[in-house]
Structure 1
Amino acid sequence: MRWRGRRESSNVSDQRGRGGFSGMPRGMPVRIPIGRGGGGLSTIIVLAVLFVGARALGIDPMELLTGVPGEQPRVERTAQNDESMQFARVVLAETEDVWTDIFAAAGSDYPEPTMVVFSGAVQSACGFASAASGPFYCPGDRKVYIDLDFFNELATRFGAAGDFAQAYVIAHEVGHHVQNLTGVLPRFNQARQRMSQAEANAMSVRVELQADCYAGVWANHTDQKGLLEEGDLDEALNAAFQIGDDTLQKRTQGYVVPESFNHGTSAQRKTWFLRGYQSGDVTSCDTFSGDI
């Protein structure tokens, strides 16, 4: 991706090296799955309870993370992570430009999300989360959360290298922000309270695939600016494939449990990203009607 020298978004909160916990979670985080045990909402709930209990007993919650009273995890600033931060700012800025134009064409304003860059762990309106849970979007505060170390893991652990693989991850989470603004996430979070786990998983897949499609729409508009380089599209499609539910489950446990899928198969994720990319039109991203 030809990103150097491009505008960097100012909607970025650098919380690397910080930590802490306050309040109880509001809303449901929507995240990139990374196939680690102990991730997801259950981890957030358990940690929230533990941290509230710790504060009630006069214990510094960060001691639970660091093992040292009052000590915050620190991140050494290096050329590599500073460049990753610059890249993330540029990608976020590009999503702002694209979605502002799309919303304007529909006669609406686009409230831009904030991207929180953290290290180790972070507190959001959706609760406390560790980097092990992967990047996520919190509808409660309209923020995208990401630990930049995930990009290294994406390349080394999941075999999805390349800057446009990273851009896909950010664009996917911004896609959830678009869903939040258009009412998709609020309706889903309300409806899931009346659903069985299997029904909620099936609906979650449709939500995630739409975010993939929106990431593809963004990639189309970015390509029209002449910013994509040879191989970029393949990088994004490979990333979508590598974090499909079936591929992740095969990698982590050796077998798949289809009824537990909540993001979509590798084939589905590639298909819907490509559909958005080929059309460049949000109307092509209706994952809630018919088969997926």
Structure 2
Amino acid sequence: MQWRGKRTSSNIEDRRRSGGGRRSGGLPGIRIGGGGGRRGGGLGIGATIIVLLIGAYFGVDVSGLVGGSGSGPVASAPQQSGPNTIDDDQEAFVATILAETEQVWTGIFQSSGQRYTPTTLVLYQGGTASACGMAQSAMGPFYCPGDRKVYLDTDFFRVMEQQLNAGGEFANAYVIAHEVAHHVQNLTGILGQVNAQRERASERESNALSVRIELQADCYAGVWAHGAADRLAVTEADIRQALATAARIGDDALQQASGGRVVPDSFTHGTSEQRQNWFFAGYRAGDPAQCDTFRAASL
């Protein structure tokens, strides 16, 4: 992948030096969402423990569990004093990939007579406030529907490489594209509809809905990869890198890695095979219409 010298997005909010929060030292104190309900602001205790382990040790996305409506307590976020300045290589990479997601999704929305409103990506270190509650490094990257922002701790890519052996620029780009995909789901109303259904569902049904929303986000990330392939000179090795990352963050792989038994009813993101298949389906088709995980007979 060749990303240097490309257009960068201005929709970056850099809070890394704002002192927005204390670095988390482990599982204690991790907060998912703002509410106290079983699904609006978190899950039942068994699934929550699994997710916390995933967040603390593997840094995967927990956006499906972070206050879906943003209705929990809202902490005041640091305010930027002016336009963001890209001042390091890591930020330049993130801003470039974000710009590529904007270009791809703007074109897709325009083709159906709609307007794409970009998300803002918040870079932070240790912790920061969001409309979904306090963002902490152990939570991994996530999308908050309450303020329509993606939150990414700058140490995440290092953690992903060291803990998951899933490093590489395209693997990192896949993570960003997956979170932006949740924003697309929010704009199209899918995320709100699913979260409303989860509020009325049993824990098992809620988890199953979460899996479908996450697999669709993987598919949308593949759609992005298809649309940006020529501009970024994406290679087969890049796609294999994304697929390898998808495999390592499957629920079954993470549960096995944490030393526990695999419990399919507790899955919230999908198996390794499912995540790989849906990412590749989106990449192969380049069409979000092929990402309807809710009507798929099998995942």
Give the shorter-chain TM-score range.
Answer: 0.7 to 0.9
Q: Is the 8 A contact 1:155 1:161 kept in 2?
A: yes
* 1:8 corresponds to: 8
Residues 104, 153 of structure 1: alpha-carbon distance in 2 compared, 3 angstrom cutoff: same
* 1:252 corresponds to: 258
Residues 227, 37 of structure 1: alpha-carbon distance in 2 compared, 3 angstrom cutoff: closer
For 2:238, give the aligned amino acid: D
Shift of 1:226: 5.0
Q: Is the 8 A contact 1:25 1:124 kept in 2?
A: no
Residues 37, 197 of structure 1: alpha-carbon distance in 2 compared, 3 angstrom cutoff: farther
Matched position secondary structure for 1:141: coil
For 1:99, give the aligned amino acid: W
* 1:279 corresponds to: 285
How do 1:75-224 residues align onto structure 2 when only pairs under 5 Å count?
Answer: 82-224=88-230
What is the CA–CA distance in structure 2 between the aligned matches of 1:122 and 1:218, rounded to whole Å? 28
Unaligned runs of 5+ in 2: 23-32, 43-50, 76-86
Matched position secondary structure for 1:205: helix
For 1:35, give the aligned amino acid: I
Shift of 1:51: 11
Note the aligned Cα RMSD (angstroms): 2.8
- Runs of 4 or more consecutive aligned structure 1 residues displaced over 2 Å after TM superposition: 24-29, 36-41, 49-52, 224-227
Shift of 1:225: 2.9
Stretch moving more, 216-225 or 272-281: 216-225
Does 2:26 align with 1:19? no
Percent sequence identity is 51
Does 2:54 align with 1:35? yes
Shift of 1:25: 4.2
* 2:47 corresponds to: none
Residues 44, 261 of structure 1: alpha-carbon distance in 2 compared, 3 angstrom cutoff: closer
What is the CA–CA distance in structure 2 between the aligned matches of 1:91 and 1:262, rounded to whole Å? 26
For 2:97, give the aligned amino acid: V
Shift of 1:216: 0.1
For 1:15, give the aligned amino acid: R
Structure label with greater radius of gyration: 1
Shift of 1:253: 2.4
Matched position secondary structure for 1:151: helix
Residue correspondences, number? 256
TM value normalised by structure 2: 0.79
What is the CA–CA distance in structure 2 between the aligned matches of 1:12 and 1:124, rounded to whole Å? 15
What is the CA–CA distance in structure 2 between the aligned matches of 1:37 and 1:115, rounded to whole Å? 21
What is the CA–CA distance in structure 2 between the aligned matches of 1:7 and 1:239, rounded to whole Å? 26
Shift of 1:44: 7.5
Matched position secondary structure for 2:219: helix
Residues 226, 130 of structure 1: alpha-carbon distance in 2 compared, 3 angstrom cutoff: closer
Stretch moving more, 228-237 or 162-171: 228-237
What is the CA–CA distance in structure 2 between the aligned matches of 1:157 and 1:136, rounded to whole Å? 18
Matched position secondary structure for 2:88: helix
Q: Is the 8 A contact 2:55 2:140 kept in 1?
A: no
Unaligned runs of 5+ in 1: 53-80
What is the CA–CA distance in structure 1 between the aligned matches of 2:133 and 2:298, rounded to whole Å? 33
